Amino acid sequence: MYIHEAIYDIDDLVHENLHIHTEFSTCANREMTIDNILEAAKKTQLKMIALTDHHHPPKVGIIDRTEEWFKNRKKRKNNEPVTYLEKVEFLRSKLEGQELPFKVLVGAELSSYDIGKFSDTDEENAALDYRLYSCNHYHLKYWVQPEDRSLNSYVNRCFENIEALLKAKRADCIAHPFDGRYLMKRIEDDLGEDVCKFSAAIKDEQIAKAMELSKLSQTAWELNIPVVLRDPDFHRRFFNIGREIGVVFNIGMDAHKLVAIDSAAHADELKKILL
């Protein structure tokens, strides 16, 4: 498991970017090769990065670029599928022997797609340096929706999912934990296009309860920079409750392009919002 001490100095926090997608993720630009990511990171003051491609449950009809990549470079016997562990092994092989001014964690953006249900096996989980879990990708077909599609029901479901994940002690960090983009179209209440209405419905005591549990499980919360910039009021509240309780925050850019590698470029904006 990866965890660092609780840091609330933004200038220190932005020296990490623990949410970077490679070319294997379909959401990422084709330029996001390992070599290009490392070269871009060398031009920054980053001290640590994490490679976090999406991980979906098998047989859900979602295909990333891993199969395509391997088929183009390595013949498969009997069309055998590429396993996630093979991808992890490949990423590690690309890092071998490299002298880098920063540490690289080979991780994944895993899926907690229902209460107590996770996309990864125990073997896959143990093979990773960094386990970043999404709990709110409700736009995906396999994500289990609550029976009641009201706003409050989704808020409650969000915390039930997070609580089950924290109790399972599988995660190093929870990705973009309260980003409303992924579920606004699922909620039956007419909320318009304002994604901040979801986070505005979250109560301080709900955040505090979840954060107390995260301290026990030694799980961090992601300050996902694009999400923070879209929803500043909530994240000021989120960050300050976390400081009071003493939780760990990790910085992630959810980088899909090389220009999003350098998290420090947003330090001043983050300070204005969070502090």
What are the CA-CA distances from residue 185 to residues 29, 79, 152, 174 (Å)? 25, 38, 14, 22
Q: Are 258 and 37 in contact (CB under 8 A)?
A: yes
Q: 124-150: per-residue pLDDT in tens?
A: 999 999 999 999 999 999 999 999 999
Q: Examine the pLDDT at 16 and tell me if it is beyond 80.
A: yes
How far apart, in whole angstroms, are the C-alpha atoms of residue 22 and residue 30? 8
Percent of the chain with pLDDT over 90: 84
- Average pLDDT (29-54) is 96
Q: Which residues contact 159 (CB under 8 A, 6 or more apart)?
A: 206, 209, 210
Has residue 68 got a pLDDT over 80?
A: no
Question: 24-28, 52-56, 61-65, 269-273: which range is least confident on average?
Answer: 61-65
Return the structure tokens found at 91.
Answer: 């990423």
- pLDDT reading at 228 higher than 80: yes
- Pick the closest to residue 261 from 40, 25, 42 (CA basis): 40
What percentage of the chain carries pLDDT values higher than 70? 92
Q: Is the model's pLDDT at 206 over the cut of 90? A: yes
- CB contact burial 70-94 (16+ within 10 A = b; e otherwise): beeeeeeeeeeebebeebbebbeeb
How would residue 67 be classed by pLDDT, with cut points 50, 70 and 90? low
| Three-class SS state of 67 | helix
- Cα–chain center distance at 27: 13
- How large is the average pLDDT for residues 63-82? 61
CB-side neighbour CA atoms (13 Å) of 111: 19
Count Cβ neighbours within 10 Å for each residue of 126-147 and write b for 16 or more, e otherwise: ebbbbbbbbbbbbeeebbeebe
Query: What is the predicted pLDDT for the residue at 87?
Result: 86
Q: What number of helices (H) and strands (E) belong to the chain?
A: 11, 8
Give pLDDT, residue 132. 98
Is residue 133 within 8 Å of 165, Cβ to Cβ? Answer: yes
pTM: 0.94
CATH fold label, 10-274: TIM Barrel (3.20.20)
Render pLDDT for 95-125 as a digit per residue (tens, 0 to 9): 999 999 999 999 999 999 999 999 999 999 9
Does residue 222 surpass a pLDDT of 70? Answer: yes
Cβ neighbours of 63 (radius 10 Å): 11
pLDDT band at 175 (very low <50, low <70, confident <90, very high): very high
Domain spans, the chain: 10-274
Residue 69: count other Cβ atoms within 10 Å of its Cβ.
Answer: 16
